[in-house]
């Protein structure tokens, strides 16, 4: 099978390394930005800066896309599909934003798109959902889908500040110089859209997915969570049907307090951990490296090997084309979610504050399970509240009223409101 590849960065280099062990996969040409750039590993094929040399080459059967980014990547993929080239990609952003059009185009031209590497790196998550659990209706997928933020939170639990943990992640190559996509939840949102497409038959528009990152998590939150029997993880969730009886898909990413005895709480460093629930099989847990050169390249080359094995079969492409509707869906609004909350406040150390908190929460249908006061310093004290299940709209209304109260140490002293894990 003859391949052309776009990109020769970290993942592309890993693909070249693994392809050297599979002689039936022939890499004919690689498109790069700079042919003269020094590289640790060079492929045994020409490099070019002209993508058209690959797209228009009739001998190249498969386009491997590991260059990343949205534009001009999506245009290259469209052109290749129209030339009846199969696609193997690791690009979750392009799939999340343009997946419906790309998959419809692939079906029209009789080719397949393989994308195992787009979610969870070396963990065989997508193939498990697409083929391994084909007899199931997928009910939900929940998990740690970003190794960078999991590394940062693991370091913070050990006592590091957010800033120092982020710096270490950047020095080790886990985080980019601009970490926005990771720490603000965009990366996970793209992955959730892909998971919804495979699990529920519709991509979810990324701009409708609720995204809350980890920038506001403090060492104090990490320590308090552990004291109450939790670890804080950035979780992404895609669940069929809205929670609390609402229509639509529950698709969201936000920090979550996970019980210490839950499998996801033990996932540390840059690893990923995912729970997949099917109506027949129940819950499966997959844990492994979610990023990195060889884990991600492993998924890319695994797709290539699957493709090579099927290429000679008549009309094989239809077998690998997932049943994804051409129209994307929107995520259910966050007001409809129901779960317990952790809330940290800094209040004036005056009599009656706890009673006033109880009154406000009661007025908004919020039942408190635990409330403690800690760390009185000068005229202020830290109050930590854990609630029973509460609707998002009720918690938001209570927080809005708290901000108007006269007992906060300052109007900005609602330290954090973090959801507590509740199975989808």
State the catalytic residues: 191
DSSP letter for 177, please: S
Contact between residue 196 and residue 122 where contact means Cβ atoms under 8 Å apart: no
Beta bridge partner(s), residue 233: 256
Contact between residue 54 and residue 48 where contact means Cβ atoms under 8 Å apart: yes
Query: Residue 15: exposed, middle, or buried by beta-carbon count in 10 A (0-12, 13-18, 19+)?
Result: buried
Helix, coil or strand: residue 228: coil
HSE, side-chain direction, 13 A CA sphere, residue 78: 13
- Cα–Cα nearest to 211, from 186, 240, 235: 186
HSE, side-chain direction, 13 A CA sphere, residue 381: 14
Q: How far apart are CA 381 and CA 366, in angstroms?
A: 22
Q: How far apart are CA 394 and CA 173, in angstroms?
A: 41
Terminal CA-CA length for the chain: 42
HSE, side-chain direction, 13 A CA sphere, residue 294: 3
Residues with Cβ < 8 Å from 397, sequence gap 6 or more? 364
The three-point CA angle 115-292-55 to 5° equals 40
Q: How far apart are CA 400 and CA 274, in angstroms?
A: 34
- What are the backbone angles phi and psi of residue 258, rounded to the nearest 5°? -110, 130
Q: How far apart are CA 118 and CA 116, in angstroms?
A: 6
Q: Cβ of 265: how many Cβ atoms within 10 Å?
A: 20
Q: How far apart are CA 233 and CA 402, in angstroms?
A: 26
Q: How far apart are CA 305 and CA 268, in angstroms?
A: 31
* CA-based max dimension of the chain: 80
């Amino acid at each position: 099978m003859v391949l052309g590849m776009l990109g020769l960065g970290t993942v592309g280099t890993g693909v070249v390394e693994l392809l050297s062990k599979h002689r039936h996969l022939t890499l004919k040409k690689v498109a790069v930005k700079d042919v003269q750039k020094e590289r640790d590993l060079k492929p045994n094929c020409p490099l070019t800066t002209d993508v058209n040399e690959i797209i228009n080459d009739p001998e190249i059967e498969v386009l491997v896309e590991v260059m990343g980014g949205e534009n001009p990547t999506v245009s290259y993929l469209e052109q290749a599909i129209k030339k009846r080239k199969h696609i193997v990609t690791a690009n979750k952003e392009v799939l999340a934003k343009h997946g419906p059009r790309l998959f419809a185009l692939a079906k029209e031209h009789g080719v397949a798109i393989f994308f195992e590497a787009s979610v969870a790196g070396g963990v065989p998550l997508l193939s498990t959902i697409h083929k391994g659990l084909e007899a199931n209706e997928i009910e939900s997928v929940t998990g740690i889908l970003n190794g960078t933020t999991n590394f940062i939170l693991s370091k913070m639990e050990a006592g590091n500040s957010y800033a120092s943990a982020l710096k270490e992640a950047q020095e080790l190559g886990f985080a980019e110089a601009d970490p926005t996509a990771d720490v603000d939840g965009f990366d996970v949102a793209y992955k959730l859209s892909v998971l919804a497409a495979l699990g529920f038959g519709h991509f979810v528009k990324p701009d409708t997915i609720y995204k809350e990152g980890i920038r506001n998590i403090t060492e104090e939150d990490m320590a308090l969570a552990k004291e109450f029997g939790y670890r804080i993880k950035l979780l992404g969730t895609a669940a069929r049907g809205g929670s609390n009886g609402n229509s639509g898909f529950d698709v969201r990413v936000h920090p979550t307090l996970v019980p210490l005895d839950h499998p996801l709480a033990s996932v540390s460093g840059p690893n990923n951990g995912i729970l997949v629930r099917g109506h027949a099989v129940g819950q499966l847990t997959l844990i492994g490296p979610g990023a990195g050169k060889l884990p991600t390249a492993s998924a890319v080359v695994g797709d290539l090997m699957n493709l090579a094995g099927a290429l000679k079969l008549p009309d094989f492409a239809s077998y690998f084309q997932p049943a994804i509707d051409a129209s994307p869906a929107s995520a259910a609004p966050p007001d409809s979610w129901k779960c317990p909350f952790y809330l940290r406040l800094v209040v004036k150390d005056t009599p009656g504050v706890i009673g006033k908190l109880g009154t406000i929460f009661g007025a908004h249908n919020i039942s408190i399970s635990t409330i403690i006061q800690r760390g009185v310093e000068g005229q202020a004290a830290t109050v930590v509240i854990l609630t029973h299940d509460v609707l998002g709209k009720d918690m938001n209304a209570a927080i809005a009223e708290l901000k108007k109260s006269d007992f906060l140490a300052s109007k900005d002293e609602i330290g954090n409101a973090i959801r507590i894990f509740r199975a989808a």
